[in-house]
Structure 1
């Protein structure tokens, strides 16, 4: 089986928890080098990939002719610089979400990847959450009729401000709109396409916080309103998704189990029930024709890496295109403009 020779640039929790176990569950990837300097991250990298070389200089990856794919697991403000260098060195690139802090940077990378005929993709893994896949199936099968309203939440209770880069105001791309908002926006765009108008309310609610930690984002379509909300002071969670249509409603509580599996060191490779939700959190469909629980679709984070392998070895189309990931940043920038100017922004 052909091996895609791969390198990681960065190896914090995004690498060791959210990417490495998924990558290792898909055949065809060989990790040759890992760029990291923290003793803790070096230890994790050696444990996950004992045969990989740990390097402290990015040039060791860029100058290695065997390496075909570079996975960027870095703070958001470093995505553009590291991706640009990798593309210029002739490497295919997968970067963590969000793509880049600014649309202009995303456009530059898209142009460069096109010129070099290289794969450029973004790790929007939550398209393969079990709950999102379930509601998407309900919507696309027309069980709700014409959808008129969609509301999605990504709420947490974290009342203490952490010291990491995500909480630092001086870093472009920090704050909850880029962090959790990019997931919610990508899901909505994947389901409904681009909106016509955007309105946003972005807040900093926790004591001592210096970056946004709550938002409400409204996307307006001709016959549809989309509400996306996230907060860090939500102790009692409501529905994760609510979708209303001309024939009825779909309401879903709870969350896809894959993230908790990964946090607890559980890998899809060794887990027969990977991505399967318990019946207690299946969504409820209530329409003019029926009222029932809808068995959740199986979550499938490995799909993205299997797709990457197929793109690089069989010419398959990428599941997450850089243009799609760029549009997420377009929405984020429009949302920030809406908040700053306290008005609806026409999106075109």
Structure 2
């Protein structure tokens, strides 16, 4: 098996949970280098990785094939550009960059350098989203007319992370953070909308970056898709509500990969490492071919973030399609920018 050498730009929460465990367990990848500016925490689990004290130093390592830019979003443009200019393929954490102009420049640079640029949209591999994708494809609800996708939390206290909560920092706030997942799922399911209207603000107060948003996407044929998030939601809702002219589907947010990884779970290669659900997590109500009303409980199958890295590996070795390629996610960035503009101006924004 061809071995792909990877360098990780940071060993914080993202590196420890979302990247390093999968790179270690996938036999096609080798964790070649990790940036830790002052500590050596990675040595315990990844003793074979070289520790560099700066990304600049790591980018000079000629053996590294792929760099994972998993630093704060405000640094994504600088570090991704630096990595591409050093001849490295790049995986960059969502939400890609702080604005569309930066994202487009990076896509052009990657194309010029004949290197790949992928955005780590791991929520495409959540069990709940995969179930929604499956149920929509089955067509039981007929023509989809209205959709709501939510990602709520109950985090009423500030985290202390400047890059996420300082309103003066470009790219801070929930729209760039959780919004990048919801926007990505909407565009994956329904494509690029024609226009949008958004309400974005901070429930914790003006001294904090936005922590609430509601984005209404307008599609042709009168489809409406609402994306919503709040950090003042103690009781969980159905995360997905899909309504068509023949029925409805309601899906809970039940993917638990992040929580399992946070407490030390080890993902396995080549099989699902999450356990099946013991109870149903969805409801579908529809009319069958005999015009009889049916109401069935549904259960989603386990999600697996390993599949993202498997697709990256297959792209490198076999030339298969690249997951969440940069120029695709640029479209998501346009929606995020338009949502902030819409909320600021209080009007519907057309999307080209």
* TM-score after normalising by structure 2: 0.94
1:166 pairs with 160, 164, 167, which one? 164
Deviation at 1:97, TM superposition (A): 0.4
Contact 1:276/1:299, CA 8 A, preserved across alignment: no
Contact 1:257/1:276, CA 8 A, preserved across alignment: no
3-state SS in 1 of match to 2:151: strand
Contact 1:276/1:296, CA 8 A, preserved across alignment: no
Deviation at 1:201, TM superposition (A): 0.1
Deviation at 1:272, TM superposition (A): 6.8
Contact 2:23/2:30, CA 8 A, preserved across alignment: no
Residue 52 of structure 2 is aligned to residue 55 of structure 1: yes
1:71 pairs with 68, 73, 77, which one? 68
Rounded to whole Å, the distance in 1 between the matches of 2:136 and 2:338 is 27
Question: What is the match of residue 141 of structure 2?
Answer: 144
Q: Alpha carbon RMSD of aligned pairs, Å?
A: 1.6
- 1:192-341 alignment, distance < 5 Å: 192-207=190-205, 209-222=207-220, 223-269=222-268, 274-289=273-288, 290-341=294-345
Contact 1:9/1:71, CA 8 A, preserved across alignment: yes
Deviation at 1:60, TM superposition (A): 2.3
Deviation at 1:277, TM superposition (A): 4.8
1:120 pairs with 117, 122, 125, which one? 117
Deviation at 1:48, TM superposition (A): 2.7
Rounded to whole Å, the distance in 2 between the matches of 1:302 and 1:292 is 30
- CA distance 1:170–1:203, change in 2 (3 Å): closer
Could you list the runs of 5+ residues in structure 2 that have no partner in the other structure?
289-293
Contact 1:79/1:99, CA 8 A, preserved across alignment: yes
Question: What is the match of residue 27 of structure 1?
Answer: 27
Rounded to whole Å, the distance in 2 between the matches of 1:277 and 1:157 is 26
Could you list the runs of 5+ residues in structure 1 that have no partner in the other structure?
none
**Greater mean alpha carbon deviation, residues 85-94 or residues 24-33:** 24-33
Rounded to whole Å, the distance in 2 between the matches of 1:127 and 1:171 is 27
3-state SS in 2 of match to 1:87: helix
Rounded to whole Å, the distance in 1 between the matches of 2:188 and 2:206 is 35
Rounded to whole Å, the distance in 2 between the matches of 1:342 and 1:145 is 34
Residues 203-225 of structure 1 show CA distances to partners (whole Å, capped at 9, x for unaligned) of: 11015751000000100101210
Question: What is the match of residue 186 of structure 2?
Answer: 188
- 1:88-127 alignment, distance < 5 Å: 88-127=85-124
3-state SS in 2 of match to 1:285: strand
3-state SS in 1 of match to 2:268: helix
Deviating runs (4+, > 6 A) in structure 1? none
Contact 1:24/1:269, CA 8 A, preserved across alignment: no
Deviation at 1:22, TM superposition (A): 2.1
Contact 1:151/1:227, CA 8 A, preserved across alignment: yes
Rounded to whole Å, the distance in 1 between the matches of 2:112 and 2:270 is 41
Contact 1:161/1:209, CA 8 A, preserved across alignment: no
Rounded to whole Å, the distance in 1 between the matches of 2:272 and 2:318 is 29
* TM-score after normalising by structure 1: 0.95
Residues 260-280 of structure 1 show CA distances to partners (whole Å, capped at 9, x for unaligned) of: 111111122289763445243
**Greater mean alpha carbon deviation, residues 317-326 or residues 272-281:** 272-281
Rounded to whole Å, the distance in 2 between the matches of 1:208 and 1:345 is 24
Deviation at 1:255, TM superposition (A): 2.1
**Greater mean alpha carbon deviation, residues 13-22 or residues 243-252:** 13-22
Rounded to whole Å, the distance in 1 between the matches of 2:234 and 2:276 is 22
